Amino acid sequence: MNNRIILLSMAVLTAGSVMRQAVAQTPSVSAADRAAIFKAAGAVQRGDKWIICSDDPQPEGANIDEVRDLNGDGRPEAITSESGSFCYGFTGTGFQLLSQQADGSWERITSDIGIPHPLQTKGKDGWPDLSIGGPGFCFPVQRWNGKEYALNRFEYEGKACKPQQ
């Protein structure tokens, strides 16, 4: 085998391992909250999968990646994601950020294409800035302005950057 094939094989094995670890670390939520989270994310249930991109001819199904209080209001937020190039293009992943309301229902706060990373910096009402990862080395950071998450800046590893056109 040449070095490229070996490196590619190692990358595929590593990615598979990371995905298995992510699945094993899926947050524990009740079946009722799980269904409510996915419904608020716009998903429909097909068999044992929740599908957000219903147009995808071979959907992988959505996941709940994280459940914790992100904005300090004492109620949990949830981040869901779904993979597939049919709906999410070259980035291959879309996400939804949902918040549990005072009445126990779930509301979608934002959704986008990419991989969200809540940051230490904050917008209005204690909502964390979101770095939206994807291909490349300069990522958009969105900030909550009280009504929506909007583009605030670009950064890579905590440093300002300028995206290439």
pLDDT confidence band for 43 (50 / 70 / 90): very high
> 7-16, 28-37, 119-128 — which is least confidently predicted?
7-16
Does 18 or 71 have the greater pLDDT score?
A: 71
Does 110 or 22 have the greater pLDDT score?
A: 110
Parent domain of 156: 3-160
Say if residues 142 and 132 touch (Cβ distance below 8 Å): yes
What contacts 49, CB < 8 A, 6 or more positions away?
59, 60, 61, 62
Residue 125 lies in a domain: yes
pLDDT confidence band for 35 (50 / 70 / 90): very high
Q: What's the predicted TM-score (pTM) here?
A: 0.81
Please give the mean pLDDT across all residues of the chain. 86
pLDDT confidence band for 25 (50 / 70 / 90): low
Residue 122 lies in a domain: yes
What contacts 93, CB < 8 A, 6 or more positions away?
81, 82, 83, 113, 114, 115, 134
Residue 93 lies in a domain: yes
The number of domains in the chain is: 1
Residue 144 lies in a domain: yes
Say if residues 40 and 29 touch (Cβ distance below 8 Å): no
Q: What is the pLDDT of residue 16?
A: 38
Residue 165 lies in a domain: no
pLDDT confidence band for 165 (50 / 70 / 90): confident
Q: What is the pLDDT of residue 3?
A: 41
Helix (H/G/I), strand (E/B), else coil: 46: strand
Q: Does 52 have pLDDT greater than 60?
A: yes
Q: Does 24 have pLDDT greater than 60?
A: no
